[in-house]
Amino acid sequence: MKSDPSESWTSLAEPRDAAGTLLTADQPSKREPLDLNGCNPSALRISIALCTYNGERYLREQLNSIVAQLRLPEEVVVCDDDSSDSTRDILVSFAAAAPFKVRIERNLRRLGPTANFERAIRLCTGELIALCDQDDIWRPEKLFIQAARFERDPVLGGLFSNALLVNSESSLMGRTLWQSIDFGSAMQRHVQSGEAGSVLLSRSVVTGATLMFRAELVPEVCPIPPSWVHDGWIAWMIALRSKIDLIPACLSYYRIHSFQECGVLPSPLQRIQKEQQAASLEYLAVVRQLQDLCRYLDDRAGPAQLFWEPLIQRKIQHLRLRAGLPVNRLSRLLRLLPEFENYRKFSKGWKSMLKDIVI
């Protein structure tokens, strides 16, 4: 069914609880106050890079939440990955009514999420680029708070935030995005103290749907190697070439459902089950990513290469060992005991070692 071109794009669809009650005051401690002092967020032009693919079920909620922003973007750049449902009709209707410029590009062949985001990023013209998934919901203050941080800190290159998890019915799941990926206060402090690279070397903690970064970094961000998910690569490029920081506030609702292209899994048990299905293949996939990162550093020889490449190569060797473990659990244990320091540095310490022994 085609969308009605006259439909309103001004009402924000908020998550509701199981009883259908509108949730508008969730976790005040996770929300950052609006501080107007010493900043002029409107001084920096914001582009939103939105990627879509068969997103008709949730897209209107996300678009509504963009229109409801306290700080509106200057443009929304949409790259649709050859959708076969009513996604494009929804986008055309949105563009006709939106109070800002909307550019819609259709891929003639499907690119996949990473290449599609790269295309959208390259088309953005603003000074700040906010990445946007088609199935989330943004809090009204999201763009305002993020832009204000960039205005106050001219050396800030990228900024990501926490989010509340919601299910397919837009109901809160009782956990945050950072809880779901074990991104605790200790690791958060490392990022805030300028040690984001060490955190990223341990594991990916930056979710693209919460990320805003300066457009001047696009020449470093693009092209994105096919081996990488876009947000993991972008986080590394920001950390290597600029400053990346975080906002503990939940500035959006991150949706967990069976149709999403990528994202966190809804529970620790499901994460373990997924890891058990193809652990060695996943380790080798990360090896390929890190090899691409080393090639990037080799092409830009300098202090960053001298510092990071030995650490990255050390993790590559660690992952290769984990990918080639023997079937016998006792043999695994004997081989892994000398690796404990690498487990502590490059993963979740004894938890990851125990998983490798048990699988």
Is 6 a residue whose pLDDT tops 90? no
CATH 3.90.550.10 in the chain, residue ranges: 45-255
pLDDT, residue 358, reads 83
Q: Is the pTM of this model over 0.75?
A: yes
pLDDT, tens digit, 9 for 90 and up, residues 285-343:
999 999 999 999 999 888 999 999 999 999 999 999 999 988 888 898 999 999 999 99
- The answer to whether 265 and 274 have CB atoms below 8 angstroms apart is yes
User: What integer pLDDT is reported at residue 280 of this predicted model?
Assistant: 86
What pLDDT is stored for residue 327 in this prediction? 84
Residue 258 pLDDT class (50, 70, 90 cuts): low
State pLDDT tens for residues 184-223. Answer: 999 999 999 999 999 999 999 999 999 999 999 999 999 9
HEC-encoded secondary structure of the chain: CCCCCCCCCCCCCCCECCCCCECCCCCHHHCCCCCCCCCCHHHCCEEEEEEECCCCCCHHHHHHHHHCCCCCCCEEEEEECCCCCCHHHHHHHHHHHCCCEEEEEECCCCCCHHHHHHHHHHHCCCCEEEEECCCCEECCCHHHHHHHHHHHCCCEEEEEEEEEEECCCCCEEEEEHHHHCCCCHHHHHHHHCCCHHHHHHHCCCCCHHHCEEEHHHHHHHCCCCCCCCHHHHHHHHHHHHCEEEEEEEEEEEEECCCCCCCCCCCCHHHHHHHHHHCHHHHHHHHHHHHHHHHHHHHHCCCHHHHHHHHHHHHHHHHHHHHHCCCCCHHHHHHHHHHHHHHHHHHCCCHHHHHHHHHC
For the cut 70, the answer to whether the pLDDT of residue 105 exceeds it is yes
Mean pLDDT lowest among 176-185, 265-274, 320-329, 340-349: 265-274
Average pLDDT over residues 228-255: 97
CATH class of 45-255: alpha beta
Residue 264: the pLDDT is 55
**Residue 71, token pair as written in the block:** 């700080």
pLDDT at 345 over 70: yes
Residue 138 and residue 66 in contact, taking contact as beta carbons nearer than 8 Å: yes
pLDDT band at 357 (very low <50, low <70, confident <90, very high): confident
Confidence check: pLDDT of 19 > 50: no
Average pLDDT of the residues in 136-157: 97
> Quick one: pLDDT at residue 276?
52
pLDDT surpasses 70 at 275: no
* Digit-coded pLDDT (tens) for 24-66: 333 333 444 555 444 454 589 999 999 999 999 999 999 999 9
The pLDDT > 90 percentage for the chain reads: 74
Residue 271 confidence (pLDDT) above 60: no
The average pLDDT across 72-89 equals 97
Whether 23 has a pLDDT exceeding 50, the answer reads no
Mean pLDDT across the chain, nearest whole number?
A: 87
Give the pLDDT confidence score for residue 16 in this predicted structure. Answer: 46
User: What would the mean pLDDT of 125-152 be, rounded to a whole number?
Assistant: 97
pLDDT confidence of residue 329? 85
